[in-house]
Amino acid sequence: MINLILFGPPGSGKGTQASNLVEKYNLLHISTGDLFRFNLKNNTPLGEEARSYIDKGELVPDAVTIKMLKAKVEENPDVKGFIFDGYPRTIPQSEALNEFLQEKGEKVSKLVMLDVPDEELMSRLLNRGKTSGRADDLDSDIIQNRLNVYKETTFPVFNFYLKDNTSVKVWGVGPLDTIFQRLCLEIDSI
């Protein structure tokens, strides 16, 4: 089973690349951002709880996120593997994922980070804000907050998985299909 973490800052292209990877490798794509947005749109209790954090560019508390992630994995017992996109974003989320996979006799196969410079991220996100309908893409202060949270709280996850040689970086600037090829090389070597 492949358990791939697609990692990187907001705007690094995880969502775009994940949909290409799903087609090629036949994995289930789990995006915590998409799951939260689904709940926001449908005004579920989970959405209500998450809204205030997401709109400010903060992370939703770990307990909420971990529970949602586990439920999604449990709902899909028969898949060939997973692409985790936007999860884990904190060390406790990483520990929870490891433990959870271990209970199933599984582990994280690889963490692939899409590496993109800050200036490029800011301009991609502001640009996406024109059409995405996402409140967190409209305001440069909120975007800056997301980039800061990434550096302070999320980037340490890269080093957490580097300890057992599970983390790699892939250059995330260039034509989409070139970046896709770089990702495929990493997945093919699992």
Q: Which is nearer to ligand ADP, 87 or 161 (CB)?
A: 87
Q: Shortest Cβ contact with ligand ADP: which residue?
A: 33
- Contact residue for ligand ADP among 18, 29, 33, 187 (CB under 6 A): 33
Q: What is the closest distance, in whole angstroms, from the C-beta atom of residue 189 to ligand ADP in the complex?
A: 25
Told to judge if 134 belongs to the known catalytic residues of this protein, a careful annotator would answer yes
Q: Point out which span in 41-49, 85-93, 97-105, 182-190 binds ligand ADP (CB under 6 A).
A: 85-93
CA dist., res. 98 & res. 107, Å (int)? 6
CA 69 – CA 56 distance, rounded (Å):
22
Phi, psi values for residue 168, rounded to 5°: -140, 155
**57 and 142 Cβ atoms separated by less than 8 Å:** yes
Distance CA 48, CA 50 (A): 6
Among residues 48 and 185, whose Cβ is nearest to ligand ADP? 48
Q: Count of CB atoms within 10 A of residue 87's CB?
A: 25
- Closer to ligand ADP by CB, 57 or 172: give it: 57
List 7's β-bridge partners, or say none: 113
Looking at the annotation, which residues are catalytic?
14, 89, 128, 134, 146
Contact residues for ligand ADP, defined by CB under 6 A: 10, 32-33, 36, 53-54, 57-60, 65, 86-87, 89, 93, 136, 146
